[in-house]
Amino acid sequence: MANLKGKVAIVTGAARGIGAEIAKKLASCGADVAVCDLKAEWCEETVKAIEGLGVRALGIGVNVAVTAEVDACVKEVIEKLGRVDIMVNNAGITKDGLLMRMSDEDWDAVLNVNLKGTFLFTRAVARPMMKNKPEPGGAIINIASVVGIMGNAGQANYTASKGGVIALTKTTAKELGSRNIRCNAVAPGFIQSKMTDVLPEEVKKSYMDMIPLKRFGTAEDIAKAVAWLAGDDAAYVTGQIISVNGGMLG
Ligand code: NAI
């Protein structure tokens, strides 16, 4: 297990689902965690669980798509927790529909949260990470998706946003590597969650047929990969897209 003692992490979309699991996993590795989601009160359950692990937790309401809120969030984390070492850009939404009928609003909403939100937090934490003492540095982990690599009918906005996250991950790694800031992405396959619970049974079955390991992933599967990327065991890993998808795409 990664040793993240003394490190401070920010996790977006951490009130529930994969983000909550990531926040708890980083805390169980010793990190203090800022639990961020649209409303601070939604974060209470995750915050309580983390405090129960004996580290500090902070619940913050922030819309990742709004620059002023993102900048204020990072400022608050530094004021209250002292530094930022780990940034997990996990907040994400879907607004599915066929391309020919997709509205501008649905396109913009998904791109703004999934891609712009990842950019805004990356930009906001870059300078504080460069100023970290005694060594500059940090780890940024973006949550992409298998469909950002392979495309998916009915998800033009979502797949484009996640493909964008993958390219942004590689660029961030190139720009910030000399400051000891690593940036990687985890690309989950189909994970049991509120996002996939709503899929019709026949769609779930057709996905299962594509998965060699014959099960949907769990939030814990993703959290473990994130914790590895956050820690020193991944010290020489940057600009990579780690697929955690049961083998559905090589
Ligand atoms: P979820 O819908 O259960 O949780 C997403 C969280 O993000 C929610 O707590 C929500 O309030 C928050 N959020 C949404 N918009 C926000 C905003 N503007 N600002 C701040 N927070 C916001 O989703 P889930 O399944 O846990 O997904 C987490 C990440 O994993 C997403 O980026 C998703 O695209 C990605 N992913 C999920 C897969 C799955 O099968 N569930 C597969 C591949 C990727």
Residue 223 and residue 24 in contact, taking contact as beta carbons nearer than 8 Å: yes
pLDDT of residue 52: 98
Q: Is the CB of 13 under 6 A from ligand 1?
A: yes
User: Quick one: which of 98, 100, 73, 69 has its CA closest to 84?
Assistant: 73
User: Is 93 part of any domain?
Assistant: yes
Q: pLDDT tens across 76-99, in order?
A: 999 999 999 999 999 999 999 999
Q: Determine the pLDDT at residue 82.
A: 98
> Minimal CA–CA distance to 119: which of 242, 250, 214, 12?
12
Range of the domain at 29: 8-240
Give the residue carrying structure tokens 């949550």.
143
CA 14 to ligand 1 centroid distance, Å? 8
Residue with tokens 């913009």: 108
Is the shortest distance between the CB of 195 and ligand 1 below 6 Å?
Answer: yes
In a domain, 77, yes or no: yes
158: annotated active-site residue: yes
Does any domain span residue 246? no
> CA 247, CA 244: separation in Å to the nearest integer?
8
For ligand 1, whether the C-beta of 143 sits within 6 Å is yes
Tell me whether residue 236 is in a domain: yes
pLDDT of residue 178: 98
Position 199 scores a pLDDT of: 84
Model confidence band, residue 197 (pLDDT cutoffs 50, 70, 90): confident
In a domain, 2, yes or no: no
> How much is the pLDDT for 32?
98
Q: What is the mean pLDDT of residues 7-24?
A: 98
Which CATH number covers residue 70?
Answer: 3.40.50.720
pLDDT of residue 21: 98
Q: Number of structural domains, the chain? A: 1
Active-site pick, 107, 158, 190, 216: 158
pLDDT digits (tens, 9 = 90+) for 107-122: 999 999 999 999 999 9
pLDDT > 70 fraction of the chain, expressed in percent and rounded: 100
* CA 109/CA 65 separation, integer angstroms: 9
What confidence score (pLDDT) does residue 198 get? 85
| pLDDT (0 to 100) of residue 194 | 77
Measured in Å, residue 20 CA sits from the centre of ligand 1 at: 10
Domain assignment present for 247: no
**How far, CA to CA in Å, does 54 sit from each of 47, 57, 205, 221?**
11, 9, 41, 23
Is 1 a member of any domain? no
Atom of ligand 1 lying closest to residue 89 CA: 32
> Is ligand 1 within 6 A of the CB of residue 191?
yes
Mean pLDDT of 170-182: 98
Give distance in angstroms: CA of 174 to centre of ligand 1: 26
In a domain, 45, yes or no: yes
User: Would the pTM of this model clear 0.75, i.e. be above it?
Assistant: yes
The CB of 49 under 6 Å from ligand 1? The reply is no
Kindly give the distance from the C-alpha atom of residue 93 to the centroid of ligand 1, in angstroms, as a whole number.
6
